[in-house]
Structure 1
Amino acid sequence: MRIQRRRLVLGSLGLAATGLPALARANSWPDRPITFICPWPAGGTADMTMRALCGVAARSLGQTVVVENKAGASGMLGLKALATARPDGYTIGQIPISVTRFAQLGTVQLDPLKDLSFIARTSGQTFGIAVRADSPWTTLKDFVAAAKAAPGKLTYGSAGIGGATHVGMEEFALVAGIQLNHIPYKGGAPALQDLLGGQIDALADSSSWAPHVTSGKLRLLATWGDKRTHDFPDVPTLKDSGYDLVVDAPNGVGAPRGLDPAVHKRLREAFKVAAASPDFAAACSRIDAPLMYLDAPDYEKYVAHVYQKDTQLIERLKLRELLAKG
C-alpha cells in the first residue's frame, strides 16, 4: 500500500513538473515585442485603424506591437503568413473576412475555421457606389435605369475578382435585375484613378472615394451598410433606395491555431480594451468606419456563418468561372 501511495505521489509530481514550463511561459508572456501582420499596404484605411488598435493593445500587454505590412492577393498573402506562423502569441494579425470566400475558391490554401485562432472582431468598412460628378446619374435609380436600357454596357471597377466590393456589387446587380460590366483592378486605388480619369463609369469601393465626394469631383449614389454613414448622412443606403441588401466586411484580429489558452485570454482582454478605446474610435471615425466588436467565441461563430453564406454566393454568382477567366 505504501509503495502504491508513493508511486501516485511521484506520478503527480511528475505531471506537475511537466506542466510547469508551459505555465511559466504563459505567466511570463509576453517578454518580447509582438508582430502584427497587416495584410494591406501601409497608409491605407485598414493599416491606419489597425495601428491605432495595436497601440492601445500594446499598453495593456506591456510590450510593443510592431505592425508589419504584407500586402497582396486581396489580403490573402499576409493572412497565409499569419496562419503558418508559430502559435506562440508573438505573431498575430488582421483577418479579412473574405478568407471565407477565397478559401473555398482555392486562392488561399487554408481553412479559416481550422487554421486560425480568433481574438476579436473590431470594426467594419463603409462601402459605396460612386460616379463622376459630371455623370448623368444623380441617383441610384438613374444608374439602374441606364443599366437596364443597355445591359452589360455600364462599367464599374473594384479591387479585384472575388473581393468584398466585387461580390457586393454583383449581389446588388442581381437584386436590381441589371447586368454590369465588371473591370477588376489590383486594389481600389487604381480603380479610383480610372473613375476620376473617365475610363470607367462607376466605382464599388470602401471609403477611398470619400475625399473626392467631399471635394465635388465624385457623386456617391448609395452606401451599403445597415444605416446611413456619419459623414454622408444625405446619401441613401441600398435599403433606402429600395434594394433589400446590406454588404459589410468587418475586420478582425486573430492568430495561428494552437495558442496557449492563457496567452489567448491575455490577447482577448487586451484587444477588448483596445476596441473600446477613444484612440481606436477616433481612427475609425476618420474613415467613417463603424465599430463592430465581438469577443472571440462570437467572432468565430460569425465567421462560420459567413462561410456558409459564401458557399451559396460562390455558386449563385459563378465566382469560380469568373476567376478562371481572370
Structure 2
Amino acid sequence: MMRRRSLLAPVALALVGPPAARPARAQSSGHAPWPQRPIRVTIAFPPGGPTDLVARVLGEHMARTLGQPLVVENRPGANGNIGAEQVARAEPDGHSVLYNTSSIVLSTALYDKPGFALSDFAPVVLTASVPLVLAVNPALPAEDLAGFVALLRASPGRFAYGSSGNGNVTHLANFRILRAAGLQATHVPYRGSAPALTDAAGGQVQFVTDTLNSALPLIRDGRLRALAVTSPRRVPLLPEVPTLAEAGMPGLESGAWQGLLVPARTPAPVVARLNEAANLALADATVRERLAIQGAEILGGTPEAYGAWIREESARWGQVIAESGVKLD
C-alpha cells in the first residue's frame, strides 16, 4: 500500500497560489481556450450512490476553479460499461469527463466486449478510495472474524453472501476472503448495494462485504455487525473494527477507488488543468470534511501516477477474476 501513499505527494504541488490567482482557462498553441461551455461529467452508476455522492462534492469545487459548471449525468448499467463507453466515444475536447470507479478495470477482464478499452481513455487523477467492510447479520453467531471463519468452516456451503452484482468488487472481495480462508459460501448477486445490504440485514443472506459508506447506516442501527474492514488501517468512522490483517487475514487490502478519465487524445493542457482543479478540490478543508463523513480516503496526484495505478490494478484484479472463473456477456 506504500504506492497508494506515494500518490498523495503531488497534491501539495498543486497548491502554488490560491485558485483565484490561477487562470480559469487552459490554452495551448493550436487549441481554443478551455472550457468553452459546461463540462459533462458522466457517472456510470445511479444517483445517490457512494460514487455519485463523492463526484458531486468534488464537482462543486472544481466548477469554481474552472469557471464553468460540471453537469452530472448518471448513466448506470452493465457494471459501469454504458457510461464508460459513452465517454470513450465522446469528442476529446475536455468537455466530456468520466467519473470512474475500479469497475473500469474489472470490466475489461470480465467482458469479452465491454464496449471500450482502457486505451480509449487518458487518466486525469485518482480521487479517493472507499474501504469495504465485512458485515454479518446480527443473528449469525459470529462476534469476530475468527468466529466467522470457524462457523463457515464447520458448515461448508450452508451460508450465503450478497454482492452488488457478478464481478463487482463487492463480489470479488468476498471471493478473496473465502478463498484465503478455504471457506465455501453461496454467492447471491443483486442489482446494486442497497438490495444486497437490505437482504443481509433481513437475514435472506448472512453476510456482505460492501463499501463503508453504503453499509455504515445499517451497522450504526445494529442491523448489521461489522467484523473487519479491508483498508490497511482502521477507519475513523468504525475505530473499534479491526482490519482484515489485524484479524488474522493479511494481504487482502482493497477498496472501491474512484477517479477522473477523459477520452484519449484530449489535449495535454486540458488534462493538466482538470488535474489541477481536482487536486485543489481534494485539498480543500470543506471538501475533505464532507468526504471523510462518507468514509472516503482522499488521494490525488498526477495523471501519470493514475495511469500507473490503473495498469497495476488491472493486472491484480485480472488475476483475481481469472481465478474466480467469472465471465460476463
TM-score per shorter chain, which class?
0.7 to 0.9
Q: Give 1:314 deviation, angstroms.
A: 2.1
Q: Indicate if the aligned counterparts of 1:103 and 1:109 stay in contact, CA closer than 8 A.
A: no
1:283 is the counterpart of 2:290: yes
Q: Indicate if the aligned counterparts of 1:33 and 1:64 stay in contact, CA closer than 8 A.
A: yes
Query: Does the residue aligned with 1:147 lie in a helix, a strand or coil?
Result: helix
- Write the mapping of 1:21-32 to structure 2, written as runs, cut at 5 A: 23=29, 25-26=31-32, 28-32=33-37
- Write the mapping of 1:246-261 to structure 2, written as runs, cut at 5 A: 246-261=253-268
Partner of residue 82, structure 2: 77
Aligned residues: percent identity?
32
1:229 is the counterpart of 2:235: yes
- Write the mapping of 1:255-270 to structure 2, written as runs, cut at 5 A: 255-270=262-277
User: Paired residue for 1:115, among 120, 125, 131?
Assistant: 120
Cα distance per residue 1:280-314 (max 9 Å; x no partner): 21221121111122311000001011111123212
Partner of residue 215, structure 2: 209
Partner of residue 63, structure 2: 58
Partner of residue 15, structure 1: none
Q: Give 1:87 deviation, angstroms.
A: 0.6
Instruction: Give, in whole Å, the separation in 2 of the partners of 1:189 and 1:123.
Output: 21
Partner of residue 39, structure 2: 34
Partner of residue 300, structure 1: 307
- Write the mapping of 1:149-168 to structure 2, written as runs, cut at 5 A: 149-168=154-173
Q: Give 1:109 deviation, angstroms.
A: 2.3
Query: Does the residue aligned with 2:99 lie in a helix, a strand or coil?
Result: strand
User: Paired residue for 2:186, among 181, 185, 192?
Assistant: 181
Q: Give 1:249 deviation, angstroms.
A: 2.6
Q: Indicate if the aligned counterparts of 2:28 and 2:269 stay in contact, CA closer than 8 A.
A: no
Q: Give 1:22 deviation, angstroms.
A: 7.2
User: Paired residue for 1:190, among 195, 198, 201?
Assistant: 195
Partner of residue 92, structure 2: 87
Query: Does the residue aligned with 1:283 lie in a helix, a strand or coil?
Result: helix
Q: Indicate if the aligned counterparts of 1:123 and 1:293 stay in contact, CA closer than 8 A.
A: yes
Query: Does the residue aligned with 2:305 lie in a helix, a strand or coil?
Result: helix
Q: Give 1:32 deviation, angstroms.
A: 1.0
User: Paired residue for 1:271, among 265, 268, 278?
Assistant: 278
Instruction: Give, in whole Å, the separation in 1 of the partners of 2:141 and 2:233.
Output: 26
What is the aligned-residue RMSD (CA, Å)? 1.6
TM-score, normalised via structure 1 length: 0.88
1:315 is the counterpart of 2:322: yes
Instruction: Give, in whole Å, the separation in 1 of the partners of 2:120 and 2:249.
Output: 36
Instruction: Give, in whole Å, the separation in 1 of the partners of 2:81 and 2:256.
Output: 15
Unpaired segments ≥5 residues, structure 1 = 1-20
Q: Give 1:104 deviation, angstroms.
A: 2.2
Cα distance per residue 1:193-217 (max 9 Å; x no partner): 1112211111121122211211222
Matched residue type, 2:242: P
Query: Does the residue aligned with 1:123 lie in a helix, a strand or coil?
Result: strand
Cα distance per residue 1:43-94 (max 9 Å; x no partner): 1221111111011111111111111111122222211111111111001021
Bigger proportion of residues as helix: 1
Instruction: Give, in whole Å, the separation in 2 of the partners of 1:219 and 1:22.
Output: 54
Matched residue type, 1:270: A
Partner of residue 220, structure 1: 226
Q: Indicate if the aligned counterparts of 1:160 and 1:186 stay in contact, CA closer than 8 A.
A: yes
Aligned residue pairs total 300
Most deviating of 188-197 and 306-315: 306-315
Q: Give 1:24 deviation, angstroms.
A: 5.9
Instruction: Give, in whole Å, the separation in 2 of the partners of 1:217 and 1:252.
Output: 31
Matched residue type, 2:109: Q
Query: Does the residue aligned with 1:156 lie in a helix, a strand or coil?
Result: strand
Q: Indicate if the aligned counterparts of 2:163 and 2:193 stay in contact, CA closer than 8 A.
A: yes
Partner of residue 138, structure 2: 133
Instruction: Give, in whole Å, the separation in 1 of the partners of 2:299 and 2:279.
Output: 11
Query: Does the residue aligned with 2:249 lie in a helix, a strand or coil?
Result: coil
Instruction: Give, in whole Å, the separation in 2 of the partners of 1:197 and 1:40.
Output: 25
Partner of residue 51, structure 2: 46
Query: Does the residue aligned with 1:294 lie in a helix, a strand or coil?
Result: coil
Q: Give 1:185 deviation, angstroms.
A: 0.5
TM-score, normalised via structure 2 length: 0.87
Most deviating of 275-284 and 116-125: 275-284
Instruction: Give, in whole Å, the separation in 2 of the partners of 1:260 and 1:203.
Output: 42
